[in-house]
Amino acid sequence: MEILQSAVIFLLVFSFSFTVKVPDNESPYEKFLRQHVDPDMSVQKCNSEISKRKITAKAGNDCKKVNTFIQANKRDVNAVCGNAGNRVVDTNLTKSNQPFPVVTCQLKSGERRPHCQYRGRSSTRYIVLRCDKGWPVHYDEGIIDVNSSG
């Protein structure tokens, strides 16, 4: 019986270690990384990653309709705000000079956490970011322009 109790405690501790706690003082850059950067992301992981990272719509626990993960390390993504990107004319946005592999997770059912179910799709695209003092702070989901380079 003691072994069973130890195993249950271990499993509980182990499972909680994979849940991301969103800190109260999370910076915009940290939030951007949590929501949009994962070099190991796959279409099969949309449900688990969005849940684990506590990604929601702006209205509390509502399911986010679309979330895109950039499949790159943070150094390469950060570089878009420097010499690896160009400002988009008449905006405060920066577009990458090179396309990135991404996984776009589209809500297929559910309205509120934890009942959000997503369908993932892989693609390659130029990423468009809002940068603040040289750091990415927002991924622009609405601009998809894979055919132009600058």
Which residues are designated catalytic? 36, 138
Tell me 18's DSSP state.
T
Q: Specify burial of residue 57 (Cβ count, 10 A radius: 0-12, 13-18, 19+).
A: middle
Q: Is-contact 100 145, C-beta < 8 A?
A: no
Q: What angle do CA 111, 55, 52 make, to 5 degrees?
A: 105
Rounded to whole angstroms, the maximal C-alpha distance in the chain is: 68
DSSP string, 98-146: S-EEEEEEEEEE-SBTT--EEEEEEEEE--EEEEETTEEEEE-TT---T
